[in-house]
Amino acid sequence: MSSRELILGRVRRALADVRADERGDERGDERRDDAPYERAVERGYLREHGGRSVAETVELLAENLADYRALVHRTDADGLAEVVAGLLRAHGSATVLVPSGLREEWLSAATDVTRVPDRGESTAHELDRVDSVVTGCALAIAETGTLVLDGSPDQGRRRITLVPDHHICVVRVPEQVVSSVPQALELLDPTRPLTWISGPSATSDIELDRVEGVHGPRTLEVVLVTGSGD
């Protein structure tokens, strides 16, 4: 069998609608390439790397978020409003974009900031004039330092976290923290508009000069809040 035939055979099997039980496993190594696509590759992936306690998982999340140059803050539910207000104040924000389902108490201390509601008719230029956006999240993944947003009411539409230059994301710990991507995928709804965020937007040119804020927020601040409830 030529290399061309081998490759095309694999492509045909990958595209074919073949039931796993229509082919046997007792064909020997010389026929292994005839195995159905879904059984041709061992997929016994690890669900997480090593065993960690809940506290260790949260610490790993904070470490990897910081490694991606996100700014990590910690508070309890009672102190959250003051932390959010302080971050907006430190950034010099006069306006903040607010998803329709964001908890009112999260912004209760930000009395000197004008709230801009998330509206479907808002243009990218209008969103670009907003100083900050505050959202919740669906999940946070410790091993990759990734935040996942799914467009729920406390997160709003995808564009509101991609256009404003400053994003404050609130993560409830430990209930919204998982160790690994496989664990996250089991909990996320694939039909929702998932946005995966690992640090502030950044890119590098051919000389590896890093530039932040090219494709999204230049500054990502993550607030890990305990005792926040559902």
CATH for 176: 3.40.50.10420
* Same-domain pairing of 108 and 154: yes
Residues 161 and 75 in one domain: yes
Residue 23 confidence (pLDDT): 46
Are residues 114 and 11 part of one domain? Answer: no
Q: Find out whether 60 and 50 touch, Cβ atoms under 8 Å.
A: no
Its pTM stands at 0.78
Residue 182 lies in a domain: yes
Do 33 and 104 fall within a single domain? no
Q: Is residue 49 part of a domain?
A: no
Order the strands of the 146-149 sheet from edge to edge: 177-178, 139-141, 146-149, 195-197
71 domain-assigned:
yes
Alpha helices in the chain (DSSP H): 3-15, 37-40, 54-67, 80-91, 124-128, 181-187
Q: What is the mean pLDDT of the chain?
A: 87
Q: Do 62 and 35 reside in the same domain of the chain?
A: no
Q: Residues 113, 25: one domain?
A: no
Looking at the fold, whether 7 and 67 belong to one and the same domain comes out as no
Judge if 19 and 116 occupy the same domain: no
User: Which range has the top average pLDDT, 22-26, 44-48, 66-70?
Assistant: 66-70
Question: How much of the chain exceeds pLDDT 90, in percent?
Answer: 64
Looking at the domain assignment, is residue 84 inside a domain?
Answer: yes
Q: How many domains does the chain have?
A: 2
- Same domain (yes/no): 136, 109: yes
27 and 132, same domain (yes or no): no
- pLDDT bin (cut points 50, 70, 90) of residue 216 is confident
- Confirm whether 97 is domain-assigned: yes
Domain of 131 in residue numbering reads as 54-226
pLDDT digits (tens, 9 = 90+) for 152-185: 999 999 999 999 999 999 999 999 999 999 999 9
